[in-house]
Structures are given as C-alpha cells and as structure tokens.
Amino acid sequence: MRFAVLALASCLLASPAAAEGWSGSAAGGGDFAFTPEVTGFGFVLFEARGEDKVGKGDVRLLYNTDTIHLEIERIPLGANFELSVALRGEIAFAGLLHQYYEQGLKRPGLGFLASYVVLLPKLQWHVADHHTLELLTNVRRWFFNDRDTDPQDPPYLLPANAWVFEPRLGYIYWKIDSPAEEYRASKLFPRISGIGLGASVGVDVRSDTRAWGFVGEGRNEPDKAIWTVNQWLRAGWQTNDRFRLELQETFNWGWNQDDISRMRIGGMNPYSLVVPGLPWSSNLSERLAIAQVSGHIRPKKGKPQELGLLLSGGVLNDPRRQGLLDSFGGAGGLALFTDLRWGRWQVYARVGWAIPSRWLLDNPHVSGFLGLGVDAF
C-alpha cells in the first residue's frame, strides 16, 4: 500500500495535474524524549488534493506513516448542506498502543499491535455565517495482535477484535482568517489568525466489550456504550508586525472508556495534546483540560521566520496509569521553538522541559521535535 501511494505521488508530480486543480505537499519529522530515557517515534506523510473532482466536492489522498486516508470532501447538498465521506486504514501502530508508558517511563513488554479500518461519513449544516452543525456516523473495525514478548513480562490481556459504531453530534464556530495554504500537510503547525471553537457529544458502541489489560486493574473495562463530551478552542492574534499570540484549549470528559478510546497527551507533535518534555502519547486520559499559549516573534520585519516560547499544561485523570480513574494530577511544560519558512519549504524545531509533578518519575524530563515540510506542487 505504501508503494502504491508513492507511485501515485510520482505520477502526480510528473503530470500536468497541478494545472488541473491538484496540489500536493509532504512532511516528515520525529518526536523524541532525551531524559530520563531515550525514546521516540517518527512520521512521514504525503497529501494530494484535487478541487471539484467528484460531484463538485474535493478529493483528498493522504499517506501518513502507517495510515492511508481517502476522502471526498464537501459535496454540496442543497443550499446549506455538505457531505464528506472518507475511508481510512491504519496498520500496526494505531494509537501508539505498541508503546506503554507509566509515570513518564516506558515499560517494555506491555505494548501490542493495533490496526483498524474505518468508514467516516460526515454531514454538515451551515446554519449561518461561521456557524455549523455536523453529524458523524463512523463505523470502525479493530484488529489487535501480540508483539514478540519475553515470557517473564507480566500477564497482559489483549482487547477483543470488535466492530464499533461511533456517532457524533457537534457544533463549530469558525472565524479563522488564515489562508487555505496554512492547512496543507506541509504546515505541521498552521499559523492561526482569528478564532474557532467547537463542542461535540458522542458514543462508541462496540460489538465486544470484554475487559483487557491487567486483570482487576479497572482501567480497561469498557462498557457497551462509551460516552464522550468534548470541547476545543483555537485562536490567534497578530498584535503588531513582529509578534503574534496563539491560544489552544481542549476539554474532554468521558465515561466507561479504555486506552483505545482515551485522548493522547504528551510530546510536541501535531498528533497529540502538547505537553513539552513528556514522551509522545505517554499519557492516555478521558477526563482532562489542557491549554496551550505561545508567543511568536519575527526577528526580521516582513520575513516569515518565527521564534517563540510555548507553555502548555492542565489536569488529567489517572496520571499514574494505575486504574484510579477518579484521581487527578497536573501536567505541564515549557518549550522553545522555531518555525522557519523559505518559499515552499518549512523547518520546525522544538525543545521542551516538563514541569516536575508528583506522579512523574526520574525528573527531569526533556524532549525535542524536528520536522520538515514542502509544498510539492
């Protein structure tokens, strides 16, 4: 499958596709913890988009490391309705469940391989300018497999392969003025101007809900119906020619969840809730409030290069990952970052430190992120 996507990318690059409403971009990078132990994970991605290709809807083709995503976006249905339909598959490393962290440290022998195929239909109703209601009716099939483990590792039960129906009802307020180019795959961290916020309520209904993980731990005992209420905010303000401010915030409250459905926290990449210094996806939580504020400085007026400082943190449940779902702890970190742009190229670098917490072992925790993006055509 990977070779098929790369072949498609090569064909698009070698053809007059760009003149026919296609655009393509690529990116790669890695998020690594340096102390108290060295761990990390990398990614590489390619995205191609075609405008007005199917029923006046856009086509999106995405390859990202272990994931293939095919989508037809925003097909108009009447005056104020749009339909999007996607098919996505992820092999082996879904949710980074092959890695298991506890109190900031990796525990060998407890991870497992997770894969899925999911159909993602979405209907949006644009009620008024900047206001949208949406209904998602995802259908997913999970597959789980053991990794090669040591017989001396503690007994850890795998989740059951299962079907999941994942309906969501959401509201979005979107008054973001950033150009569309900011949301190409090459822009790992889009520069936000304006404000967007949303809220949703959803339920996961699984065909098999047997307990898994450590027997009797209480952390991975999902119910037939897994409920989630979620709220998010993204905002950015340009205060003058050389400084801008960004704010991001996420609140989530779930019931009857497990480590498959919980949100991922830790690292400084675009795919989890950012807490500098912590390893990528080192915490999994269903009850949390995390906020991030960052100041962006342009050393030279009129040039796109930015440097800055980022502060992120909040509270989450069961930070020790011991099945104490009603216990809460704080997590936070500071990071220095660069967002450097030259023409169609982007370079990202971040180094972060986690603020010591009572649940974190072996402080200090220091991590880094490095990424590269390019607008191919």
Q: What ranges do the domains of the chain cover?
A: 2-375
What pTM does this model have?
0.92
233 and 248 Cβ atoms separated by less than 8 Å: yes
The DSSP-derived string for 180-204 is GGGGSTT-SS----EEEEEEEEEEE
Q: Which runs of consecutive H residues, i.e. helices, occur in the chain?
A: 2-14
Strand partners, 263: 285
170 and 197 Cβ atoms separated by less than 8 Å: no
29 and 269 Cβ atoms separated by less than 8 Å: yes
Topology at the third CATH level for domain 2-375: Porin (2.40.160)
Residue-level pLDDT at 38 = 96
Residue 355 per-residue DSSP state: P
Distance CA 103, CA 282 (A): 8
373 and 27 Cβ atoms separated by less than 8 Å: yes
Distance CA 185, CA 69 (A): 13
pLDDT in tens, the chain (377 residues): 444 444 444 544 444 444 488 999 999 999 999 999 999 999 999 999 999 999 899 999 999 999 999 999 999 998 899 999 999 999 999 999 999 999 999 998 889 999 999 999 999 999 999 999 999 999 999 999 987 666 666 778 999 999 999 999 999 999 999 998 999 999 999 999 999 999 999 999 999 999 999 878 889 999 999 999 999 999 999 999 999 999 999 999 999 999 999 999 999 999 999 999 999 999 999 999 999 999 999 999 999 999 999 999 999 999 999 999 999 999 999 999 999 999 999 999 999 999 999 999 999 999 999 999 999 99
Q: How far is CA 71 from CA 3, 54, 75, 84, in A?
A: 19, 10, 11, 7
Phi, psi of 18, deg, nearest 5: -60, -30
Q: Which two tokens stand for residue 308?
A: 């800055």
- Identify how many contiguous H helices and E strands the chain contains and give both numbers: 1, 20
Distance CA 117, CA 135 (A): 20
Q: Which of 361, 291, 349 is nearest to 321 (CA)?
A: 361
